[in-house]
Amino acid sequence: MEPRSILGGVIVATALPYKEDASAPAGLAVDYDRFAEHCDWLVSNGCDGVGPNGSLGEYSSLTDAERRRVIQVAVEAVGDRGIVVAGVHGPGSHQAKYWAELAAEDGAKGVLSLPPTMYRASRSQVVDHYAAISEVGLPIMAYNNPIDTKVDLVPDLVAELAQIENVVAIKEFSGDVRRAFEIAELCDIDIIAGADDVVFELLLDGAVGWFAGFPNAFPAESVEIYTLVRSGRIDEARELYKALVAIFRWDSRVEFVQAIKLSMEMVGRYGGPSRPPRGPLTPEHEAGVRADMQRAIDYLASRTPALV
């Protein structure tokens, strides 16, 4: 298997636990102790690192103090056993750069950044956004999520971003698996699978990493899928992926945060509630998550893991 790139491997977009506290925003305080334990559990189960303050980490619902403390706790919990790739998403480059500066100061090894949020930025504005973040000096994983940002980092734009000194990877969440080859034809940048339900296809097409949601519930099994594909053991990886892809599809749905937290509960972890605007799953959605998750749990209980 080829060596992993600096931001490659299985990096978990960490869910964030809350505990009830009437004095906290929306009556929910960040449970830093549970979060530290969760980060430790993920790397202890073979994940290469954690990615706090992403969409799954509900960064936009955090206070500035909470957002910084989340990174500090992740760095402390992971230590030298893995890397922390901090989400630095912001409406403007000055805000994203500020969060990158704090991430560097607090020990993160890389940053993940969307294009400007809450604004349909032009091509030149997108380039300027990443150029400003690059001034901090940390490796940057650009994040293409045209569903949320309304800005699509199409392959030729990714090629332009790859010319910026510290932009070393692209997290691809468009769902279009054809892009992996086109990006590779245009530039030298690490392609990172950004949606759990296309990870198998993107890994086959050359992705060197998986910035993932459902490893919050299935860390060891997710590492197994990644390692099997990267080792060329495709049939074994396909069988495992087929059994999990139904629940993985929830990673690409609006309710992904709540779905992943419920999935964590179903494997004996703490998921807990989310802050607004996210509310509880509807009964229909909860039933769907539970059914898909139970099929995955039953399959995993019946199998002997591959030796990887």
What residues are annotated to the active site?
143, 171
Q: What is the 3-state secondary structure (H, E, C) of 81-123?
A: CCEEEEECCCCCHHHHHHHHHHHHHCCCCEEEECCCCCCCCCH
Amino acid at 133: I
CA 45/CA 34 separation, integer angstroms = 16
Cis check for the bond before 273: say yes or no (omega within 30 of 0): no
H or E element at residue 72: helix 64-78
CA distances from 250 to 111, 246, 261, 262 (A): 25, 8, 11, 11
Report how far residue 190's alpha carbon sits from residue 199's, in angstroms, rounded to the nearest whole number: 14
* φ, ψ dihedrals at 273, nearest 5°: -80, 175
